[in-house]
Structure 1
Amino acid sequence: MRIFALHSDRIWYRVREKAVASASEPEVPEASYQEVLVLFTAFETFDSELSIPRAVEAIKSIAERLGVTELVLYPWVHLTDQPAPFQQALDLYERLLKALKDAGFSTHRVPIGWYKEFEIKVKGHPLAESLRTIGPVELERPKEATEVREEEEEASRFVILYPDGREEEVTDWKNVEDEDLKIVVRNEVFGKPPSGREPAHIDLMRRLELVDYEPSSDVGHFRFYPEGTLVKRLIEDLAFDVARRLGAMEIETPLLYRLDDPAIASQAARFRERNYQIPTGKTTLILRFAGDFGLFSMMRDMNISYRDLPLSFYEISPSFRLEQRGECVGLRRLRAFTMPDIHSFVSDVEQGMEMYEKFFLEYHRLLKELGIEYAVVFRVVAKLYEKLKPDMLRMLSAVNKPALIEILPKMKHYWALKHEFQVVDTSEGNAQLSTVQLDVEDSERYGIFYVDRDGNRKPGVIVHTSMGSVERMIYAILETAAKASKRGAKPMLPLWLAPTQVRVIPVSPENIEYAVEIAKKLNELQIRADVDDRELTLAKRVREAERRWIPYIVVVGKKEQETGLLSIRRRSDGVEYSATLDDLVSEIKSETKERPFKPLNVPMRLSRRPVFVGSS
């Protein structure tokens, strides 16, 4: 059983339609409650009546701490990927409701088995949000899991660190000046209330015919249409360019690994219940969820000298994480994704911080050029905070941003320091893009050593880093465009990433041949151009180009054909002007310089192009 408790000023709900055919008619189809503790509750397959007393004790501890006696029990299946069957969940819901009443609480029932719309206003104090997991009674947690849970329950300290060295304790997210950081602080420190809104990119990825859900696969697995595949490949090429610029060597390692290998089992234990496992005759195989598996095995077999350091490797590969069903939201969080990873093996923390800062600044430059706004979050072990603080300040000064700092009481992970560039989307959700992690444990743990000047074998430090999964980068780019649209700007993809960079529209059938000739020349010069030769009005074809975010619209008629001057509409600033083909080429080339290029991935003439989503 999972319980997400929210101390709320107000909650309102209204029943819409049945989610389960056998659900009873609601006694209260619409209601509003004030000053309550809302309990979003998911019942799981292993829950039984023995789980109820433990759930009541967990709820009592929260309510007593808050001084609350009025509860709203809200069934919320999305908290788990192992939901109980409806009749089992209904029985547990009734038992929990009765047990809470018997414990002296005033309780409010919310219909179970129905789709509902709701609004909630959560209080902003540090104790307003709590998540409780009631595990199966009959199973004891292994010792390692118990130790990890105990560590996780130790409270972190949160501060805002400014580039000028100021440091403020986090007491209220509303006081944070940076708008993106404000939302991140609220979500990370105080808990994000369910908004009920869908991020804008989910509609955009379909409308632009880039990406879509794949109903024949698992949750969190997607199909990429031709233009989406083109965008994906361009970002993959960009990731390779970044790795090459940073001096990394490209490698390739398998997708499947044996769980009876102690090193693999140790890594997999960090992601308990979050990995795909494939039982075979003799062992169980696991699908990779990170880039460490094969690389660490490779490095363990290498002979490494201090002269070789820093030593960096790059790999881009499909990765798989069995995220909870309710956590899978469009391209923000998936179960299958493409991850470009760089790992740098260095001699010590000092050399590690040199590489760390290099990666930090490279990813800042990358996101800035992509127009992606982000907030900075650092997480650091308390005993190293003061020592590493000057490094953090230097990086924050370089990007001119404050950061949320989570100061952990002790080592909980393999890293002593990490940061994340967090993007905030249109639903006020946030997600990690680029990250760098200073790993001070795995070198020795996995037997990766180098030989120092004196001939001694020594463990080093590993800097883990990624610009972010390719899918999440598409999510960030689309969400950035949607936020720009809300501010009154025209949404668009970066020019180098636009599946069609120039659309040529002939005024009449007599101009089609000329339009095709222009598009062919542009494509030969490595500018993606197509021709809208469909039997539609000129106005409709122009509107369609605008709807598909085409960066340059070129309209050609008799006048353009006679003078050689093209009529151009530039999306980025809305300017309409005339120019020669050579001038247009020069303008686009200057904007896409040093960026990856791939040719059109669809027929050049729209009359010969299939429609993948809906109708054109």
Structure 2
Amino acid sequence: YDNIVVVFVAAEKDDDISVAKKAMKEVKESLDVIKCNEVLIYPFAHLSSDLAKPSDALKVIKEMETEAKKLGLKTHRSPFGWNKQYSFKIKGHPMAEQGKTITSKDVKKEEEELVSKALKEEEKIVSHWHIMDIDGKLIPIKVDKGKVVGDFDFKKYPNLEKFALYELAKNREVTIAPPHIKMMREMEIADYEDASDSGNLRFYPKGRLIKSLLEEFVTKTVIDYGGMEVETPLMYSVDHPAAVAYLNKFPARQYIIKSGDREFFGRFSACFGQFCMADDMTISHKDLPVWLYELTRYSFRRERKSELAGLRRLRAFTMPDVHAFCKDIPQAIQEFQKRFKMSQETLDGIGFKKGEYELAVRFTKDFYKEHKDFIELLLRLHGKPALIEIWDKKVFYFVLKYEFNIVDALGKCSALSTDQIDIENSKNYGIRYIDENNKKKEVIILHCSPSGAIERDIYALLERAYLTEKSGGISQLPLWLSPTQIRLIPLSDDFVDFSKEVMQKLEKENIRVDVDDRQLTVQKRIRDAELEWVPFILVLGSREKDSGQFNIRIRSEKSKEVKMKLEELVKKIKDEVGDKPFKKLSLPKILSKRPIFVG
């Protein structure tokens, strides 16, 4: 074998199939980090003095083999019960050798992790599923033999069909790595961090740039709409009466932090901090609606390991969270429409047009009876049919919520924008406003994330790029998010100084530009720039220096070469970028001085 991970295994007493499955899932996580997809399961009794009976041990090891294949690993198993001779060489990196002990107690402990009552209720909730067309007609659907069935014709809406199947099947487990994981590493955007908990990623300079630009753009959008930006703590006491009530209504698993004799949970949104702040505020009816906004870096949800997948689903993530405190349901509905449009504008600014995402609207039967026109209005604003989930009774703290969802290359779906109408937490937190008669009254709260988690936006952009390339298009990021917008390639060392002069001119126009002065062929350097999805590539030689005209390879036009002056190129970039935020890339501008983060 060559370039393979060998898993030495000793099955102990009380080990069973669940232990075998958990063991292989942990092995798969390690393999994802070291970029290896081939494994040899090697029975090795010398690891333990408390061995299972041979017949039981063989069952466990065979189950590990089966699970490894299900996880998409190229799998081999060494014979059981024989004396064997082996020799091997180990690669010299930090994860070359690891040891793990997995017991049935570990499996049971994972099953008994802290979860809210709402999460348990969510698993039992009865939902009535429909497609609503833009005329407001509800068409019932269900899943039968792995397909969505009903009277709605999905031919024009293939992604809506995939989304409906994903939601009705409720299967969130990830058995195949989505394409964006490989892309985020190869492009040095983000990566797994073995020293941290699963679902906590590290971001390289290019990824940090993309992430910070998105953060700035979403924050500016919310503030322009009237959001007041605040900052609140990352953790809250599990004994806080209002927090306890909210925890039991929010479907999520929590991180628990101990400090002395007290226990705290890591926030899963900005709700707690903003609600505690609102409780201390004096709010007049003249002030309403009041918007409080925070970009949480970070929010925490202890998602199941089997559901974690690159940037798509994390345990620590960046969440723009804006709450609106409204006088009553009519005002809440009015604000909801305004925020719905804000979310559409936010996604459009990031790079997602209306037709690229699917709408889900979820509500109680009672709310639908009273506000049918409002829900139908949301469909018209969306402009195409949507998935509808109706509950017989209120299980959560909200009576209506929507999400804009994207469908990735594996048919998995993820929510981006969302908003909710909350009718409970004003009472739980004591949030009141003073009405016209000087009396205190409860508010209606709207919970909105106009973009969804920032990490998930990057995931969505990468998955879309993958799908575009697969269908014959060009994989690229929006120009304003491209870490390098222009790559200058000097024809020889004689033109490096000229390339630096051009770079300085372009930098004054707030354009991210670098110079590839490496001792490689021009074609190799062009190829590397294309692999980095650089939007504009310029090769500089004597002709360009003398004439001031440049042959520019434009990625969005399938690397078509266009002759332009620098001024024309600058205008083209500024016209496309518009008023999006700009930041410098915190990497050396000269590629020969740039370190390699992944390789």
TM-score range, shorter chain: 0.7 to 0.9
Q: Are 1:415 and 2:398 counterparts?
A: yes
Indicate the SS of the match to 1:157.
strand
Task: Count residues with an aligned counterpart.
Answer: 522
Of 322, 330, 333, the residue aligned with 1:350 is: 330
* Aligned residue in 1 for 2:418: 435
Q: Are 1:116 and 2:91 counterparts?
A: no
Q: Are 1:523 and 2:523 counterparts?
A: no
Would the alpha carbon gap of residues 200 and 152 (structure 1) be closer, same or farther in structure 2, given more than 3 Å must change? closer
Indicate the SS of the match to 2:580.
coil
Residues 162 and 396, structure 1, Cα contact 8 Å, conserved in 2 = yes
Of 248, 256, 263, the residue aligned with 2:242 is: 263
Q: More displaced, 385-394 or 589-598?
A: 385-394
The 1-side partners of 2:411 and 2:51 are apart by 31
Residues 78 and 326, structure 1, Cα contact 8 Å, conserved in 2 = no
Would the alpha carbon gap of residues 414 and 116 (structure 1) be closer, same or farther in structure 2, given more than 3 Å must change? same
The 2-side partners of 1:260 and 1:144 are apart by 14
Q: Are 1:205 and 2:184 counterparts?
A: yes
Of 445, 465, 470, the residue aligned with 2:428 is: 445
Q: Are 1:396 and 2:396 counterparts?
A: no
The 1-side partners of 2:162 and 2:6 are apart by 34
Q: More displaced, 338-347 or 150-159?
A: 150-159
Q: What is the correspondence of 1:66-85 to structure 2 with a 5 Å cutoff?
A: 75=21
Of 360, 371, 386, the residue aligned with 2:340 is: 360
Would the alpha carbon gap of residues 599 and 273 (structure 1) be closer, same or farther in structure 2, given more than 3 Å must change? closer
Of 134, 137, 152, the residue aligned with 1:166 is: 137
* CA-to-aligned-CA distance 1:72-99 (integer Å, 9 cap, x gap): xx95668999xxxx999999x979x9xx
* CA-to-aligned-CA distance 1:133-166 (integer Å, 9 cap, x gap): xx979x9999994x98567524210000011222
Of 603, 609, 612, the residue aligned with 2:594 is: 609
Letter in 1 for 2:165: R
Return the offset for 1:42. Answer: 7.2
* Aligned residue in 2 for 1:43: 18
Would the alpha carbon gap of residues 42 and 183 (structure 1) be closer, same or farther in structure 2, given more than 3 Å must change? farther
Which residues of structure 2 form unaligned runs of 5+? 28-47, 73-106
* Aligned residue in 2 for 1:176: 154
Q: What is the correspondence of 1:97-246 to structure 2 with a 5 Å cutoff?
A: 111-114=62-65, 115-118=67-70, 145=117, 149=120, 152-172=123-143, 173=148, 175-177=153-155, 178-192=157-171, 196-246=175-225
Residues 155 and 408, structure 1, Cα contact 8 Å, conserved in 2 = yes
The 2-side partners of 1:311 and 1:89 are apart by 64
Q: Are 1:382 and 2:365 counterparts?
A: yes
The 1-side partners of 2:154 and 2:51 are apart by 41
Of 437, 444, 461, the residue aligned with 1:477 is: 461
The 2-side partners of 1:143 and 1:250 are apart by 30
Would the alpha carbon gap of residues 343 and 507 (structure 1) be closer, same or farther in structure 2, given more than 3 Å must change? same
Return the offset for 1:23. Answer: 5.5
The 1-side partners of 2:198 and 2:112 are apart by 29
* Aligned residue in 2 for 1:311: 290
Q: More displaced, 238-247 or 271-280?
A: 271-280
* CA-to-aligned-CA distance 1:346-367 (integer Å, 9 cap, x gap): 0111111111111212222332
Residues 154 and 409, structure 1, Cα contact 8 Å, conserved in 2 = no
The 1-side partners of 2:346 and 2:411 are apart by 23
Which residues of structure 1 form unaligned runs of 5+? 1-15, 25-40, 45-73, 98-108, 121-134
* CA-to-aligned-CA distance 1:32-73 (integer Å, 9 cap, x gap): xxxxxxxxx9737xxxxxxxxxxxxxxxxxxxxxxxxxxxxx
Residues 371 and 480, structure 1, Cα contact 8 Å, conserved in 2 = no
Would the alpha carbon gap of residues 148 and 528 (structure 1) be closer, same or farther in structure 2, given more than 3 Å must change? closer
The 1-side partners of 2:259 and 2:119 are apart by 30
* CA-to-aligned-CA distance 1:322-349 (integer Å, 9 cap, x gap): 1111111101111111111100000111
Query: TM-score, with normalisation over the residues of structure 1?
Result: 0.78
Indicate the SS of the match to 2:198.
coil
Letter in 1 for 2:139: E
The 2-side partners of 1:582 and 1:320 are apart by 46
* Aligned residue in 1 for 2:300: 320
Return the offset for 1:431. Answer: 1.0
Letter in 2 for 1:342: V
Would the alpha carbon gap of residues 142 and 397 (structure 1) be closer, same or farther in structure 2, given more than 3 Å must change? closer
Indicate the SS of the match to 2:286.
helix
Letter in 1 for 2:129: F
The 2-side partners of 1:382 and 1:89 are apart by 57
The 2-side partners of 1:580 and 1:140 are apart by 65
Letter in 2 for 1:176: F
Residues 23 and 113, structure 1, Cα contact 8 Å, conserved in 2 = no
Letter in 1 for 2:564: A
Q: More displaced, 165-174 or 547-556?
A: 165-174
The 2-side partners of 1:90 and 1:181 are apart by 49
Q: Are 1:589 and 2:574 counterparts?
A: yes
The 1-side partners of 2:51 and 2:395 are apart by 35
Residues 423 and 433, structure 1, Cα contact 8 Å, conserved in 2 = yes
The 2-side partners of 1:439 and 1:275 are apart by 21
Of 520, 523, 540, the residue aligned with 1:536 is: 520
Return the offset for 1:239. Answer: 1.3
* Aligned residue in 1 for 2:540: 556
Q: More displaced, 370-379 or 428-437?
A: 370-379
Would the alpha carbon gap of residues 458 and 327 (structure 1) be closer, same or farther in structure 2, given more than 3 Å must change? same
Return the offset for 1:167. Answer: 2.0
Indicate the SS of the match to 2:217.
helix
* CA-to-aligned-CA distance 1:253-296 (integer Å, 9 cap, x gap): 11122222222233333458821212222311222111111111
Indicate the SS of the match to 2:475.
coil
* CA-to-aligned-CA distance 1:533-584 (integer Å, 9 cap, x gap): 1111000000000000001111111101100001101111122111111110
The 2-side partners of 1:80 and 1:292 are apart by 33
Return the offset for 1:179. Answer: 1.8
The 1-side partners of 2:528 and 2:113 are apart by 58
Indicate the SS of the match to 1:536.
coil
The 2-side partners of 1:489 and 1:166 are apart by 36
Query: TM-score, with normalisation over the residues of structure 2?
Result: 0.81
Residues 173 and 307, structure 2, Cα contact 8 Å, conserved in 1 = no
* Aligned residue in 2 for 1:460: 443
Residues 79 and 324, structure 1, Cα contact 8 Å, conserved in 2 = no
The 2-side partners of 1:225 and 1:386 are apart by 50
